[in-house]
């Protein structure tokens, strides 16, 4: 009987509370809790006060706003008084919410109770995050700093946050499809936008949506003159907000660019830095220097209290990483000069126009304006067009390098044929300036045939080298969008002849011709600068020499004194050159109109896409500009 009883005791099932076993420890329960909180599934965790299923539902809801992030939990201590059914454990939670080495980390105390041989965790939402309540959820929020400004040369902000008003229909303040459609149409009429498309947009929006119609500066006449009419539309709303904007809608707009919500492509390429709704540069310098201007985002983990409709009614911050402010971008643009340049072009609404002004002594671009006919294109700095006779600055330099002086005689004829191509002078070329004329006279009156007659003496490579010495035609790595011209090599005799008068395949921007003018005036190759602290650009292979530049300067003086630049005398211009360049397939072909000018420390280039003469269709821009503001 004794042996049989012993056998039963040895082979039978052993309970957790067998008199032969030690009492269980809380360690297993704590590990289950750590694993459950890490995964978001507490199904295997013994709990008191709530079922594992309800706890799991709470945790899943709490974690939803954390994206893919989940906590890493380590049990660090378990304390149990010997013989007691109570214990306290400690675990450390760490969330990898950013690339920073020190992420969100906190310590939690866990009360446990031994119930029927099993240690159970006393449930509380605060096990998930510090002091979390049943009504709260977690949210990982990106916190961007205020975007840095783009500054003018004197440090004043050009692009900065400015107050605007978003006008639209708030559908919570108007009910019924017909009434809503009628309100949308009325508001569209007041604002001058397409009524049908806006009404359709409003109709498709949700029943509680605010549907923007226009975003207007607070000074915009569309807003200031129509406030009463806007407010009279049922459901219309005027909502203030801040936007990064320039001084005016058009002020250097192609250069400064715009800021807006990140596109899906930008978000995808950001490697997790950007999220939908973040504002980033979309064009111009705002895009090129976006990373510098927006700085580095910080983040916060917030506990949000949600209302019955899902809206946030309260929030508190549990953890934060500070953002890093962006660095302002200071330009060389002079605010008054740019404003004056834009006013000078404002009346020409039909054709694209541009004006660029450069400081001769530094290469700083103080104004780079485009007219309303340009429709926002970056014509001033990056336009491409045949420069016509303004390119004769480079042709003159090439001749000087072949021994010519201002008094060297060149044959100026009505026409000149090169390899079957007939070239002529511009209409109304003065008859008394035909014949053998000096190089200075040829430039002053812009005799095409005189320059073309030298096509055998001056090679295309000579012309390319001279252009490079004036800062034109090199493919330089500019830290902003710009075009410094192109003078392609060619073996075609006709094309080479055309190059001597800035046609053929020669191209330039207004910036390039302003730089060429500045180089002649300075007697040294000038490099353009738009960003105040940008690195210096390399010198050309054949830098401009002061002595050869002086010869070209003397010719440019003659343009003002006796030639096609006399019209600029009243505004004190010392050096100038006009230019026209044929383009297109019309008969007769249309012409671009150019004028370059120099006064004091200022070199200017003006361009009109269509015009018969630089004197009549480009020079007026320079005159207006110099009369509006003297920065030389």
Query: pLDDT, tens digit, for every residue of 276-292?
Result: 889 999 999 999 999 99
At 68 the three-state DSSP class reads coil
What are the structural domain ranges in the chain?
Answer: 18-134, 150-327, 371-405+434-581+591-602
Q: What 3-state class would DSSP assign to 555? A: helix
At residue 3, does pLDDT exceed 60?
A: no
What is the C-alpha separation between 462 and 395, in angstroms, rounded?
9
How many C-beta atoms lie closer than 10 Å to residue 129's C-beta?
Answer: 24
> Alpha-carbon distance 113 to 122, whole Å?
7
Please choose, from the candidates 181, 174, 195, 244, the residue with its C-alpha nearest in 3D space to the C-alpha of residue 215.
Answer: 244
State the fold for domain 150-327.
Penicillin-binding protein 2a (Domain 2) (3.90.1310)
- Going by CATH, does the domain composed of 18-134 fall within 2.70.70.10? no
Note the pLDDT of residue 241.
Answer: 94
pLDDT in tens, 584-605: 878 888 999 999 999 999 999 9
Instruction: Give the distance from CA 596 to its chain's centroid.
Output: 30
Cβ(147)–Cβ(244) below 8 Å: yes
Residues of the chain above pLDDT 90, percent: 86
The DSSP line for 349-402 is -SS-EEEEEEETTT-BEEEEEE-GGGTT--HHHH--B--GGGGHHHHHHHHHTT
CA–CA dist 368, 629 (Å, integer): 14
- Which DSSP letter does residue 43 get? T
pLDDT of 15 > 90? The answer is: no
Give the residue among 468, 474, 470, 251 at the shortest CA–CA distance from 368. 251
Protein fold of 371-405+434-581+591-602: Beta-lactamase (3.40.710)
Angle at 369 between CA 334 and CA 561, to 5 degrees: 90
d(CA 615, CA 567): 7
**Confidence class of residue 156 from pLDDT cuts 50, 70 and 90?**
very high
Give the model's pLDDT for residue 203.
Answer: 93
Q: How far, in Å, CA of 551 to CA of 57, rounded?
A: 86
d(CA 622, CA 624): 5
pTM metric for this prediction: 0.84
Of the candidates 358, 314, 304, 318, the one whose C-alpha atom is nearest the C-alpha of residue 334 is: 358
Q: How far apart are CA 397 and CA 403, in angstroms?
A: 10
Q: Is the pLDDT of residue 177 over 80?
A: yes
Pairing type for strands 210-217 and 157-170 reads antiparallel
Question: 337, 162 in Cβ contact below 8 A?
Answer: no
Least confident segment among 35-49, 138-152, 304-318, 423-437: 304-318
Whether the CA torsion 261, 264, 268, 272 is positive or negative: it is: positive
> For residue 10, is pLDDT > 70?
no
Helix (H, G, I), strand (E, B) or coil at 146: coil
Residue % of the chain over a pLDDT of 70: 96
Which H or E element spans position 543? none
pLDDT grade, residue 631 (50/70/90)? low
* Tens-place pLDDT, residues 330-340: 999 999 999 99
**Structure letter (DSSP) for residue 540:** P
Per-residue DSSP letter, 486: B
**Would you say residue 6 has pLDDT above 70?**
no
Question: What does the alpha-carbon distance between residue 374 and residue 370 come to, in Å, rounded to a whole number?
Answer: 6
Are β-strands 435-438 and 409-412 bridged in parallel, bridged antiparallel, or unpaired?
A: antiparallel
Q: Is 570 left (phi over 0), alpha (psi -120 to 50) or beta?
A: alpha
Rg (CA), the chain: 38
For 208-297, strand residue ranges (E) read 210-217, 236-245, 259-261, 279-281
Residue 506 scores a pLDDT above 60: yes
Residue 352 and residue 379: Cα distance in Å, rounded?
8
CA 383 → CA 177, 237, 367, 386, 510, distances in Å?
49, 42, 15, 10, 7
E strand or H helix at 108: strand 104-115
H/E stretch holding 73: strand 71-80
């Amino acid at each position: 009987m004794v042996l049989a009883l012993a056998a039963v005791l040895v082979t039978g099932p052993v309970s957790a509370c067998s008199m032969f076993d030690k009492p269980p420890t809380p360690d297993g329960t704590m590990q289950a809790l750590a694993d459950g909180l890490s995964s978001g599934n507490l199904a295997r965790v013994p709990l008191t006060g709530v079922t594992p299923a309800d706890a799991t539902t709470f945790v899943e809801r709490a974690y939803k706003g954390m994206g893919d992030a989940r906590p890493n939990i380590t049990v660090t201590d378990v304390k149990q008084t010997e013989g007691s059914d109570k214990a306290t454990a400690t675990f450390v939670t760490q969330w990898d919410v950013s690339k920073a080495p020190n992420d969100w980390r906190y310590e939690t105390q866990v009360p446990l109770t031994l119930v029927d041989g099993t240690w159970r965790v006393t449930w509380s939402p605060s096990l998930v995050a510090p002091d979390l309540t049943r009504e709260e959820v977690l949210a990982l929020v990106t916190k961007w700093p205020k975007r840095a400004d783009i500054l003018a040369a004197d440090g004043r902000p050009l692009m900065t946050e400015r107050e605007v008003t978003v006008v639209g229909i708030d559908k919570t303040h108007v009910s019924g499809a017909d009434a809503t459609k009628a309100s949308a149409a009325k508001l569209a009429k007041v604002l001058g936008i397409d009524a049908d498309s806006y009404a359709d947009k409003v109709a498709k929006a949700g029943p509680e949506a605010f549907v923007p119609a226009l975003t207007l500066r607070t000074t915009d006449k569309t807003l200031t003159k129509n406030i009463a009419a806007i407010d009279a539309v049922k459901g219309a709303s005027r909502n203030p907000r801040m936007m990064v904007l320039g001084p005016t809608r058009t002020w250097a707009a192609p250069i400064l660019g715009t800021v807006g919500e990140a596109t899906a492509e930008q978000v995808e390429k950001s490697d997790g830095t950007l999220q939908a709704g973040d504002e980033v540069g979309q064009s111009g310098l705002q895009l090129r220097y976006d990373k510098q201007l927006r700085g580095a985002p910080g983040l916060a983990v917030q506990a949000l209290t949600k209302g019955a409709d899902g809206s946030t009614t309260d929030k508190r911050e549990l953890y934060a990483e500070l953002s890093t402010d962006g660095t302002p971008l200071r330009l060389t643009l002079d605010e008054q000069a740019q404003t004056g340049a834009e006013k000078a072009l404002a009346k020409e609404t039909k054709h694209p126009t541009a004006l660029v002004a450069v400081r001769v002594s530094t290469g700083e671009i103080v104004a780079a304006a485009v007219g309303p006919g340009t429709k926002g294109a970056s014509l001033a700095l990056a336009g491409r067009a045949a420069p016509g006779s303004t390119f004769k600055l480079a042709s003159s330099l090439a001749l000087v390098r072949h021994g010519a002086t201002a008094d060297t005689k060149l044959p100026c004829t009505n026409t000149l044929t090169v390899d079957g191509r007939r070239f002529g002078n511009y209409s109304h070329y003065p008859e008394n300036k035909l014949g053998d004329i000096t190089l200075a006279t040829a430039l002053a009156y812009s005799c095409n045939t005189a320059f073309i007659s030298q096509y055998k003496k001056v090679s295309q490579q000579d012309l390319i080298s001279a252009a490079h010495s004036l800062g034109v035609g090199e493919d330089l790595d500019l830290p902003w969008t710009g075009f410094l011209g192109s003078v392609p090599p060619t073996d075609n005799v006709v094309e080479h002849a055309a190059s001597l008068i800035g046609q053929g395949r020669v191209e330039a921007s207004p910036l390039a011709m302003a730089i060429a003018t500045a180089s002649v005036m300075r007697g040294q190759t000038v490099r353009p600068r738009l960003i105040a602290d940008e690195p210096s650009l390399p010198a050309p292979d054949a830098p401009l020499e002061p002595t050869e530049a002086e010869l070209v300067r003397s010719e440019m003086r003659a343009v003002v004194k006796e030639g096609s630049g006399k019209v600029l005398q009243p505004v004190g211009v010392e050096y100038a050159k006009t230019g026209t360049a044929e383009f297109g397939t019309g008969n007769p072909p249309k012409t671009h109109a150019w004028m370059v000018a120099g006064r004091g420390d200022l070199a200017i280039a003006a361009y009109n896409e269509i015009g018969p003469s630089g004197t009549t269709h480009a020079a007026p821009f320079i005159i207006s500009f110099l009369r509006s503001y003297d920065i030389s």
